[in-house]
Structure 1
């Protein structure tokens, strides 16, 4: 029986550079080969670092407790696509949550996260923020490349349009929060600045906004970070200082010993179940406080 390859922190850091900074696929595999000791070892390790589309969902797509559908709705300057999930058991007006994807677009993992949100008693909408470019492709490398072509002002405006759509839906209580992961966490921070009617924002390992824009934030924020995520964590202190100076309502949690994307259960090398479960319980409690 072949031993499972060992994934080191340097390998995880190289993958983070590849997915978020300047490495291309060829250079990433070259670096991984050096770190792993051989091309064969690198080939075995690469899928462990990446998200796996074969990973089973935590909440099945056909879960009979939920009503789920792909929808279109008005964006800021064109049609948006999204995945809307509602709990069947609740008849009272619902708070709503925008579930914002990573830099891979609206994939099966984020659909699963939306279903988790709905099971916790909210109307959940996972928008496809690549809608202006035609929507999320099946090829995740291609999807990742498409993000550099997005106009962030338009993207943030599409976030606000999503909030307005959810707030006005039949069966909604008018209160809308947003939770985002990686790229989506950064968008939550931008929405908190640009959307004065956002009721709550939760950013998982998201890029922080410029300190001078923080005074515009009105929504309470909850910010989750992985303790080993040096790239994103470099901005925590300045963000904290700006939030404190502005008298904002916020909570920051740093989970020691875990990586960027620790919530993504489809990435076996980076997922950390204890941290993910704790962050999720805090997130749902936060939404229940501010969206009820």
Structure 2
């Protein structure tokens, strides 16, 4: 089964429609380096032709309906909102579990999906549904569970995310892997895919859980290079070309992975911005995202195998 292609009724804005310095400013806002007021103050110099600073922020912010590829009520899927224990972390965590509806009692290769720094929003739920249509059991936890879960808007989610105890949050995702391994409907082959903050968490999990079968970090922060020798998981590293914050740390970690003989492949997508795979914002780069995603699915199928 394959996900249906996204269609739109009118041309969408892309990163090329914005000044690069504005995109850098927006990236700083998204990652909490400046607040909304700081973004608006900095964006005023880019406002023109009737587009205010607030209008620029709205234009750059996610449009979940525009990016949806698989509907939440797709009859090809079985979707459950579930809880799992995280005794070393935040207690009881919640997440979004998706399986192909026709899987029956078969055991499925399983993918843990890790969101950006806004919790389990509609885009990440859509990513989980896409993976399920490719034959995986996909599970997307919500790191914001201890604070009430994803609040429904990105600004509130970003503010809540900054309040998380990051040490406990790491334990919550470790616990998610443990919980998935014990399920009777998994083959036991677990892969991890994450985006931005979630990409960094993929790297953290591969340091802590050597028997993960595959890791795919999209533009994620890397651990201390001294940790690379602990990694045994095959990696597919997806990076944007215009992403100074993430790319600055990659060469040292790449060298450490090579020195430790960790199996990995890394791609940089020319002309892309941080977040290029997120099809809900203008930073989305369709050709690069389609290529990166096809590589991701092929890699996961190779490393996780099929149903049992």
Q: Same fold (TM over 0.5)?
A: yes
Question: Which residue of structure 2 aligns with residue 45 of structure 1?
Answer: 56
For the residues of structure 2 that align with 1:94 and 1:11, how far apart are their CA atoms? 43
Of 263, 287, 291, 2:300 maps to 287
Question: Which residue of structure 2 aligns with residue 137 of structure 1?
Answer: 151
How far does residue 48 in structure 1 lie from its aligned partner after superposition? 2.2
Is 1:171 equivalent to 2:171 in the alignment? no
Question: Which residue of structure 1 aligns with residue 44 of structure 2?
Answer: 33
Is 1:15 equivalent to 2:26 in the alignment? yes
| Secondary structure of the structure 1 residue equivalent to 2:302 | helix
In structure 1, stretches of 5+ residues that fail to align are none
Question: Which residue of structure 1 aligns with residue 219 of structure 2?
Answer: 205
Number of corresponding residues: 288
Output aligned runs, 1:52-201, within 5 Å: 52-77=63-88, 78-91=91-104, 92-201=106-215
Over aligned residue pairs, what C-alpha RMSD do you find? 1.7
Change in Cα spacing, 1:197 to 1:76, as seen in structure 2 (3 Å) is: farther
1:109-136 per-residue CA deviation (whole Å, 9 max, x = no partner) reads 1000000010011000010011122322
Of 243, 257, 267, 2:271 maps to 257
How far does residue 196 in structure 1 lie from its aligned partner after superposition? 2.3
Question: What stretches of structure 1 move > 3 A for 4+ residues in a row?
Answer: 37-41
1:200-259 per-residue CA deviation (whole Å, 9 max, x = no partner) reads 111000001110111111111111011011111111111110100111011111001000
1:27-81 per-residue CA deviation (whole Å, 9 max, x = no partner) reads 1011111122477433332222111234251000011110011111112341010
For the residues of structure 2 that align with 1:248 and 1:57, how far apart are their CA atoms? 35
For the residues of structure 1 that align with 2:170 and 2:20, how far apart are their CA atoms? 33
In structure 2, stretches of 5+ residues that fail to align are 1-12
Of 225, 239, 257, 1:225 maps to 239
For the residues of structure 2 that align with 1:82 and 1:275, how far apart are their CA atoms? 29
For the residues of structure 2 that align with 1:76 and 1:101, how far apart are their CA atoms? 21
Greater relative contact order structure (CA < 8 Å, 6+ sep): 2
Change in Cα spacing, 1:25 to 1:158, as seen in structure 2 (3 Å) is: same
1:86-112 per-residue CA deviation (whole Å, 9 max, x = no partner) reads 012334321100111111110111000
| CA contact 1:17–1:23 (8 Å) conserved in 2 | yes
| CA contact 1:156–1:194 (8 Å) conserved in 2 | no
| CA contact 2:116–2:197 (8 Å) conserved in 1 | yes
